[in-house]
Structure 1
């Protein structure tokens, strides 16, 4: 009995000690800030208290993102139940635009050497706005960032300059200007520097005790990873075209199923992506018009005019689809050119095949029977029977035809054929 107790004690004691040791949660936000990344941050902040985390460390590298997603992330950080540290890393990373604002909202803002922060000037998603609207955007963003900097005790004037003048600072300059709290070459050195640091959380002062803390990385789940990937403008664009093509083929060939399934899934994923991106719906309309013109070219042969119109419509629609001046929120030229070229080539091949099919001699029906070669099954004087395409027909000939001679069909009247000897048909053809 005593031995069993000792065994249980040896098993349970390490678990209890492990549960009591300090724990730091680490998440990474890489790429544009969008609703998926903001949701991922919010979920981890909510779970941090349940896990007993002493600190949530956000490793950040972003060119910016959507204003709505940025504000959602800032609100989540302010309402977080545990202290939040934002670490712009590794070397070469940046916290630009929306990333700079998220960093300023954190309890602790640190940067690795060789990184930069700033350039938070707001950009209109529909292109350059009129002067009055632009002034409103800048004033709103400036007040918002200044309030965040003041709440965290950071340099308010520099924060304003990041918005109004698009100033960007290196890690060392940001530390000198009191924009960030410290510069740390690595995660381990950052956590060591934070030991005993005091932060304000919920109106109370919290002292960080991170010595010997166990660092736990929390990655995006499969669902969030997929949604984050499809929020890329290039992926959203290709999914939309794939969805349209799949639905078209399913409607053109009912019962195939696979194109319809793939098209439906792709179209729904593209709808999700489009609601997370700045979209010009005139661009979507032009792309749909281009697809319709391609389909019309197949149905109504216009000798390429409709196809040319479809290419022009698709190109213009693709250029207008994501009007943001920010590169990470625009469609890349490589994807645009490649997708339009493949789509135009595909429909071009289909159009050529349709034209060839129209020009070919019919092989079925009455038209397909004209010119067919058969054999007289009986003497035709002038009526009798012939064997054409494996079938026996009543036939009439203007001249006598003997049994066994080859004949050629020249007319079809109901179920009766009009034929003539093949030799005579050949002679006429040569003449």
Structure 2
């Protein structure tokens, strides 16, 4: 080789070494963790466990695939805290096409070190919803034009009192809204993303498509699939707790960290509809065991269902007034069977049961609303059962008595022997002592007029 080529060779070698130092060699693998559906305690447990396992297995990055309508505030903050303290970068990815990172999902995406979306996805609508679904400030408070409307004769409330009540009612809502705004702005500023749009998503509930989010600086990139995502983020610098880190994801494999059976079982258990059925099955199972002591199966199954239901409601945002109304309703329905009141206790119990079911999960978070179809179905069955019980009770009062002293009155007997005002007669295969004030002959048909202990007072049937 000619000496004139040596300077060029040295320059090429130097540039190659410099490039290798700037971009680390791809090692490890990408851990795929999915948030699919409403975010709750089961989601938090799964994400925390999968994250720890990924770090333990030597993963270099976590790809958090998101498709959620929202969820509970406490569970969301736990996931965000885990992301912020993660020793390896977390890439938030809203996918596949048609997925969304709504409400709580927006907070999680803002917390990720890299925020990406697939085409035809969206995020936003991050306004927190308080218990009961009350509207936030900005609606009609009674101090606008509608407050001056004359509703007819009668006393009118003092406008100043209305304004004071509105301000008092809005105080807690303002605190909740302000806390959410500060929270998401802090996440946006930490990741260098559009904090103003994040505030609008909380205050106004605005949403954005993937293309709009990229143009607004809400996300970092758009990728069609997970493999393209790893290639697109390769070489990107992210801020970790220990300082700046350059991602080396080109060509690495992806390992799926799916939830184990325990997490899947917990997710099913914390489904509001399942928890509701478990609670009812537990209570009615114990009642059936009480009605039929020694049956064993209803008591065992009822105790298991009740404990599982109570465990699920411990994790869910339960309104305890609704829970108490359900218990009161069941007590009244049981009391109707023990102390017949012609449906008063029973229908009152059904009303308490329905109102309690509506209030049980008094929250407007997507995925955690009370399923009114289930409540309506159970209430309809209960009303039909109670109506059938009242009908059968009323019909039974019109049926002739067939046992006891009342059943003997007006019964006809055949005299077998008689003398001196006393004798014997046969009734339905039984031999009874009879007494009459008129002479009788064997074979005469007589009718019971009164019962005196074990003696029947009779008279001739034709009389």
Range into which the TM-score falls when normalised by the shorter chain: 0.7 to 0.9
Matched, 1:230 2:241: no
Q: 1:251 aligns with which of 290, 294, 298?
A: 290
* Distance in 2 separating the partners of 1:318 and 1:197: 51
Secondary structure of the residue aligned to 2:208 is: strand
- Closer, same or farther: CA 368–240 of 1 in aligned 2, 3 Å: farther
Q: Which runs of 5+ in 1 are unaligned?
A: 1-19
Q: Which has the higher contact order (CA 8 A, sep 6+)?
A: 2
Write out per-residue CA displacement over residues 116-140 of structure 1, whole angstroms, 9 at most, x where no aligned residue.
Answer: 1111112211342721111111111
Aligned-pair CA distance for 1:255: 2.2
Q: 2:193 aligns with which of 136, 139, 154?
A: 154
Write out per-residue CA displacement over residues 78-130 of structure 1, whole angstroms, 9 at most, x where no aligned residue.
Answer: 22233222211111111111111011111222111111111111221134272
Structure 1 equivalent of residue 310 of structure 2: 271
- Closer, same or farther: CA 151–357 of 1 in aligned 2, 3 Å: same
Q: 2:38 aligns with which of 28, 32, 53?
A: 32
Matched, 1:402 2:408: no
Structure 2 equivalent of residue 121 of structure 1: 127
Aligned-pair CA distance for 1:270: 2.5
Matches within 5 A, 1:380-419: 380-381=418-419, 393-398=431-436, 400=440, 402=442, 412-414=451-453, 416-418=454-456
Note the aligned Cα RMSD (angstroms). Answer: 3.0
* Distance in 2 separating the partners of 1:208 and 1:278: 39
Secondary structure of the residue aligned to 2:230 is: helix
* Distance in 1 separating the partners of 2:363 and 2:441: 80
Matched, 1:177 2:183: no
Secondary structure of the residue aligned to 2:363 is: coil
Structure 1 equivalent of residue 239 of structure 2: 200
Corresponding pairs, count: 402
TM-score, scaled relative to structure 1:
0.82
The answer to whether the Cα contact below 8 Å between 2:450 and 2:458 also exists between their aligned partners in 1 is no
- Closer, same or farther: CA 252–193 of 1 in aligned 2, 3 Å: same
Secondary structure of the residue aligned to 2:63 is: strand
* Distance in 2 separating the partners of 1:351 and 1:257: 30
Structure 1 equivalent of residue 84 of structure 2: 78
Aligned-pair CA distance for 1:358: 5.0
TM-score, scaled relative to structure 2:
0.77
Aligned-pair CA distance for 1:50: 1.6
Aligned-pair CA distance for 1:142: 1.0
| Deviation larger for 365-374 or 156-165 | 365-374
| Deviation larger for 275-284 or 54-63 | 275-284
Matches within 5 A, 1:252-401: 252-357=291-396, 359-367=398-406, 379-381=417-419, 393-398=431-436, 400=440
The answer to whether the Cα contact below 8 Å between 1:142 and 1:163 also exists between their aligned partners in 2 is yes
| Deviation larger for 351-360 or 137-146 | 351-360
Secondary structure of the residue aligned to 1:329 is: coil
- Closer, same or farther: CA 229–397 of 1 in aligned 2, 3 Å: same
* Distance in 1 separating the partners of 2:246 and 2:412: 100
The answer to whether the Cα contact below 8 Å between 1:86 and 1:106 also exists between their aligned partners in 2 is yes
Write out per-residue CA displacement over residues 304-323 of structure 1, whole angstroms, 9 at most, x where no aligned residue.
Answer: 33333233323332332222
The answer to whether the Cα contact below 8 Å between 2:31 and 2:63 also exists between their aligned partners in 1 is yes
Secondary structure of the residue aligned to 1:213 is: coil
Secondary structure of the residue aligned to 2:56 is: helix
Matches within 5 A, 1:60-139: 60-128=66-134, 130-139=169-178
Structure 2 equivalent of residue 210 of structure 1: 249
* Distance in 1 separating the partners of 2:92 and 2:189: 17
Aligned-pair CA distance for 1:66: 0.9
* Higher Cα Rg, which structure: 2
| Deviation larger for 93-102 or 214-223 | 214-223
Structure 2 equivalent of residue 10 of structure 1: none
- Closer, same or farther: CA 58–406 of 1 in aligned 2, 3 Å: farther
Structure 2 equivalent of residue 13 of structure 1: none
- Closer, same or farther: CA 213–365 of 1 in aligned 2, 3 Å: farther
